[in-house]
Amino acid sequence: MPSPSTVLVTGGAGYIGSHTAKELARAGYRVVSYDNLSRGHRWAVKWGPLEEGDLLDQDRLRQVLAAHNVDAVLHFAAFAEVGESMREPELYFRNNVAGSLSLLEAMHHSGVRRIVFSSTCALYGVPETVPITEDVPKAPANPYGESKLMVEKMLQWEGACRALQWTALRYFNAAGCDAEGDTGESHSPESHLIPSLLEAALGKRPACPIFGSDYPTPDGTCIRDYIHVTDLADAHVRALRHLENGGASMALNLGTGDGYSVNQILAAAEKVAGRPIPIERQGRRPGDPPKLVAAPQRAFATLGWKPSHSSIDNILETAWRWAAQRSASNA
């Protein structure tokens, strides 16, 4: 029997990386996580060894790629907060762009020719048309989105010049947590909407800020397309298989095609928590487009993938279970 493929998961101690590590292991891959633990968690690495290291440490990357005989890379390690990227853009260009370049160089040196890249809908900026297809013009509204677009361009050229096989998965809003409670979302400080609402529900913060009430949307708050992290993880495994089967390199949107406003998410969070959630209405957060909803048909057709965990109720229920479990164990 051939030995299973070995996948290096950069950012394997993080939110989406750890959920994907679980799905990869379930699908029979050997998983090695590479993480500097600057934002990830040792407890989240459960489906294979952790190799601690920084993306910018290329010698370390080369050593890990060789030591584990890595066949493919799933590249999650990155900073991913819009607001922070507006305040400290250099962090994003160094970690996300220079870090990815270092990884691509190490892969080239080590003869690893497949990569699935964690990209984002933030590279579309304020799109001219919604739902958003992959081909609409890219005009990032913040350095985070720009950093991911720059990496996608590197992938295209590495594909053209080095025969790298790549898939860029453009996530809409990753949300929810593993239904079995094996891993979940944990940022410090938390800045994303759903975990912030649940922290406020649990009394872990006085109130959740709600950014903006005057957007050109039906209720004045931003609309987003929330996709369950387990569906994202499944799409990564399928994207890897697609490359292994000789599939073409391309970018794919990962979303549901349905949009929910911040106020609708607040209502769903109050329902699952069974209590009113203290909020504080504030002005707009810089860099936030009013409405981002995916046209995910290319991913459906290419990967044979469809979200099956992404109802708003399931997203909120799994996130709530995780938040309550963490809260009880940290109490």
User: Any catalytic annotation for residue 144?
Assistant: yes
DSSP 201: H
Q: Which residues pair with 261 in a beta bridge?
A: 223
Read off the tokens for 35: 């993480």
103 vs 208, beta carbon nearer ligand UDP: 208
Give the per-residue contact string, 229-268, with ligand UDP (x = CB under 6 A; - = no). ---------------------------------x------
CB-closest chain residue to ligand UDP: 222
Residue 82 contacts ligand UDP per CB under 6 A: yes
Buried b (16+ CB within 10 A) or exposed e, 73-111: bbbbbbbbbbebbbeeeebbbebbbebbbbbbebbeebe
Q: How far is the C-alpha of 143 from the C-alpha of 160, rounded, in Å?
A: 26
CB of 262 to ligand UDP, least distance (A): 5
Shortest spacing between CB 71 and ligand UDP, in angstroms: 31
Catalytic residue among 92, 124, 144, 226: 144
78 close to 99: Cβ distance less than 8 angstroms: yes
Subset of 268-287 contacting ligand UDP (CB under 6 A) = 285
121: exposed, middle or buried (Cβ count in 10 Å: 0-12, 13-18, 19+): buried
Cβ atoms < 10 Å from Cβ of 164: 21
Q: Within positions 165 to 224, which residues make up the interface with ligand UDP, using CB under 6 A?
A: 173, 191-193, 196, 208-211, 222, 224
In whole angstroms, the minimum distance from the beta carbon of 234 to ligand UDP comes to 20
- Give the active site residues: 144
Contact positions toward ligand UDP, by CB under 6 A? 82, 173, 191-193, 196, 208-211, 222, 224, 262, 285, 288
